[in-house]
Structure 1
Amino acid sequence: MKTLAIVVMAVTTLAMTSPVPAGRGGPDRGAGAQGGPPALADTGARPPSGPCALPGATDNVSETALTPPGYAPSSGVVRAITFLIDFPDAPAKVTPQERYAEFFPAVADYYRTSSYGRLDYRSTPVLRWIRMSRPYPAYGIERGTPFDASSDDGYAALSAEILDAVDDTVDFRRYDLINVLVTPDAGPPATEDVRSVTFAGTPTGLTTAEGTSFMNVSFIWSRQTGDSPFRVLNHENAHSFGLPDLYYTGRGSALLKTPVGHWDPMDEDWGPSEDFLAWHKWKLGWLAPAQVRCLDRPGDRSFALTPTSVPGGLKLAVLPVSRHTAITLEARAPGPLDHVVCRPGVLVTAVTTTMYTGSGPVRVADATPGSRGCYTSDLNVNAALSDAPYAAGQTYTGPGVTVDVLGATDGGDWRVRVRTVRPRASAGGRG
């Protein structure tokens, strides 16, 4: 029986268009995941739990707090096997080592930094060009081409040839992820057509010699622009970890196409670097319970959020407004991965766990609606959202909640006062 994998495309900035060419140490500080008084420090990260770990869609890539089975592990030691392929009509013009060096060790370093050392990404390369048997056009690869295991073309054909070349020397049971780096001369440049893709979460229908499924596989085409072009692989691997695309592929204004902008690489991963949203860090298992405050009861609370860019501290506050929707608070400031934070402050987002990848499951609340933004020098960045964080003296008002941003401490944390007037509505059983 033919089995189709869930497909997630790396379509970025301006959504369906192409890109424009071009520590704090010590124990974690914060409040317990169940709300109420501060909990004892807990430095051990773990999967989300408690009433703010919202349930949602599990049959596709979504923002559901607990990632369903089938995806690659996203914390601890994660092992990837990385192949390089070229074509008779598009032979590689660089060595395998040079192409591999475009992504590693940068990808592993990025994940180590973003996860605060909780994801130890290890890539094993097969450092030779694996020549495909047919010219590139013969495979019929386009944006959106599915993985059809019954087809003699497309990604199934490419994958079958890779397996034929390596299956007697590679034990796929040792690896969590599969990366395929294509020679950048095959197909159109990324500035014209984005084709990088991941098949994640479900079997593709192709199996290895050991009987394991050929799945959680990312194909990287062409080269991206910007100061950290390796992040296309960060984006694609994050699909294998269970994260959805945050850009919006439906009809609407250009602003709606990038509802999160440059605040997470699952929306815009072109141009300058940026870190993951705190909700994603929690979903991926990178935050300890003491780093998440769940505000699921009415009342007034005051606390300080430590910026995403530094280790330790309270990273995320979650205010559930329904069984599948929450408002989240986090602090963002310039840091090793947040290269273009030009307006530090408290970033407010709305997360919906029943919306699938590419449908805009996360929306950033813009503290300065109508402004042209504070980072306007790179057309790959949604400038209008670059000044989205709430600064000192500003107030966010949402469903049943008011958030006052009180200002930054001398240590760089952001103090907030949160007033909730009612518990989340229609919650049903707490997930």
Structure 2
Amino acid sequence: MPCSRGPGGVERPGLRSLAAAATSLLALAATSLVAGPAVAATGDATPCALPRTAAHHSLGLDDWNASYPRPDRGLDAVMVFLSFPDSEPTLDPEVLTADYFPSTSRFFERASYGRFTLRAHPQRAWTRMPHDSFWYGIERDWDPGRRTAYLRDAIAAADPAVDFSAYDVVYLVADPDAPGVDSDATKVVNFERPLRADGTDIRRVVTLFEQHPPDRNVLAHETGHVFDLADLYHRPVDGKGDWDTYVGDWDVMGSQFGLAPDLFGWHKWKLGWLEGRQVVCVQGSADLTLEPMAAAPVPGGSIGTRLAVVRTGEGSALAIEARGATGNDRDTCSEGILIYRIRSETASGSGPVEVVDAHPDTASCRDRSVYPPLADAPLQEGETFTVPGDRTRVEVADRTPSGSWTVRITAGV
């Protein structure tokens, strides 16, 4: 069958043989699916579970870091609204609460397939800080002393009205109109020594300095850190240039503005939202039907196979999943089979995940994407791609009537 090689080594059937190619590959995949994997794929995902390392927010998932709450159950979050002596708030706490909830809870409900509920408990009144907003020197790269003073003052000021022992997550929301508030300072702060209040240790807090209305999905991103998820963006040394070169639009931990912000399947496996039976560890070759990562389970049915993994080293793996225009990904630029690299030894912000661009010579959605070169990264029907350096081949046959994708994965070809 005549083929042309498209950008990045993607094998594309010629125009005259496109239909025949798709039909041929579909027949091959369907036959193999009936007969079983061509070489080997294990129903036990353990061999592909990378070990957790000492890296900050390591993406190893062979065990859980118990210092973080695991979102495999309902968790309670308190929202404390902080005002300052140099600025009288013009917004009610109820208005700011609506900036984040219920949208953040719905994001996680969809991402977890209903396995996790984030329950918000907003305070109804402003809590006055003891110093003016400028006194704390709020900015992205915050002076540690001033930042510590801000956090201690906030917890102490709120303590008379808040029982911190009742909550799993703490959100400190600053008055967005206070003159010393810098929205670029929004982040999660982890304490080397936990703060103590109401007989409980507070190990980390989310500090929100967003303007009203805030960035899209910003609280979902920051809450991901509370659950030990890493920053997936690339921060340029001088702060200039593209921040989204590692994963583009494809996970909220890369960008809160992403067109397809649902969490990677690897993250969902780590958080307990995907079980081992929904993850296939490919050790040889396997024919699979992958359900779109953001698709809700069929009512009354179970979650099918969502993630395929090829172990490439002691601390590295390739992950392969389907992404479709549904759920949290409903605004995606493109659909198809997404491939990305995982490195459990790489720290947050240094590229622990890198999306493999199956179409490196093209871009898409320049008017909407946070990083157009990766917006068309997924493989489409009838395409075959060999991952550079890892020699894993991914062949995409078609989409089933239910919207799943039929693929063949061959490791180490």
Q: TM-score, normalised by structure 2?
A: 0.82
Q: Secondary structure, in 3 states, of the residue corresponding to 1:109?
A: helix
Shift of 1:158: 2.3
> Equivalents in 2 of 1:250, 1:262: separation in Å?
18
Task: Give per-residue Cα distances to partners, 1:216-250, cap 9 Å, x unaligned.
Answer: 2101112377xx83511111110010000001125
Task: Give per-residue Cα distances to partners, 1:302-352, cap 9 Å, x unaligned.
Answer: 011000121222110010100100000000010121133232100000011
Moved over 6 A (4+): none
1:120 counterpart = 2:117: yes
Shift of 1:171: 2.5
**Which of residues 211, 218, 234 is equivalent to 2:206?**
218
Give the conservation status (yes or no) of the 8 Å contact 1:372–1:383. yes
> Equivalents in 2 of 1:389, 1:335: separation in Å?
16
> Equivalents in 2 of 1:204, 1:129: separation in Å?
27
Change (3 A) 1:256 1:393: farther
- Identity in percent: 31
Q: How many residues align?
A: 366
**Which of residues 189, 193, 199 is equivalent to 1:199?**
189
1:243 counterpart = 2:223: no
One-letter identity of the residue aligned with 2:189: F
Shift of 1:402: 1.1
Shift of 1:286: 0.5
One-letter identity of the residue aligned with 2:54: T
Change (3 A) 1:89 1:324: same
**Which of residues 240, 247, 263 is equivalent to 1:276?**
263
One-letter identity of the residue aligned with 1:332: R
Residue 6 of structure 2: aligned partner: none
> Equivalents in 2 of 1:55, 1:260: separation in Å?
22
Residue 233 of structure 1: aligned partner: 219
**Which of residues 290, 298, 304 is equivalent to 1:305?**
290
Residue 62 of structure 1: aligned partner: 58
Task: Give per-residue Cα distances to partners, 1:138-164, cap 9 Å, x unaligned.
Answer: 011211226x5xx4x32x222222332
Give the conservation status (yes or no) of the 8 Å contact 2:134–2:181. no
Q: Secondary structure, in 3 states, of the residue corresponding to 1:245?
A: coil
Give the conservation status (yes or no) of the 8 Å contact 1:246–1:258. no
> Equivalents in 2 of 1:408, 1:77: separation in Å?
35
User: Which has more helix, going by share of residues?
Assistant: 2
> Equivalents in 1 of 2:164, 2:373: separation in Å?
44
Shift of 1:59: 4.8
> Equivalents in 1 of 2:287, 2:260: separation in Å?
31
Alignment of 1:152-191 (within 5 A): 153-154=146-147, 156-186=148-178
Shift of 1:367: 1.6
Residue 93 of structure 2: aligned partner: 96
Residue 8 of structure 2: aligned partner: none
> Equivalents in 1 of 2:351, 2:113: separation in Å?
27
Range that drifts further, 388-397 or 162-171: 162-171
Largest Rg, 1 or 2: 2
Range that drifts further, 110-119 or 67-76: 67-76
Shift of 1:109: 1.2
Task: Give per-residue Cα distances to partners, 1:163-209, cap 9 Å, x unaligned.
Answer: 3233234322221111111121235787xx62111024x54442114
Range that drifts further, 114-123 or 391-400: 391-400
Q: Which runs of 5+ in 2 are unaligned?
A: 1-35, 298-302
C-alpha RMSD of the superposition: 2.5
One-letter identity of the residue aligned with 1:319: V
> Equivalents in 2 of 1:216, 1:385: separation in Å?
33
> Equivalents in 2 of 1:187, 1:116: separation in Å?
41
Give the conservation status (yes or no) of the 8 Å contact 2:174–2:181. no
Give the conservation status (yes or no) of the 8 Å contact 2:127–2:158. no
> Equivalents in 2 of 1:288, 1:62: separation in Å?
19
Give the conservation status (yes or no) of the 8 Å contact 2:76–2:121. yes
Change (3 A) 1:383 1:119: same
> Equivalents in 2 of 1:186, 1:395: separation in Å?
54
Q: Secondary structure, in 3 states, of the residue corresponding to 1:119?
A: coil
Alignment of 1:25-40 (within 5 A): 36=41
Q: TM-score, normalised by structure 1?
A: 0.79
> Equivalents in 1 of 2:393, 2:180: separation in Å?
48
1:390 counterpart = 2:379: yes
Residue 414 of structure 1: aligned partner: 405
Shift of 1:294: 1.0
Give the conservation status (yes or no) of the 8 Å contact 1:58–1:64. no
> Equivalents in 2 of 1:392, 1:272: separation in Å?
21
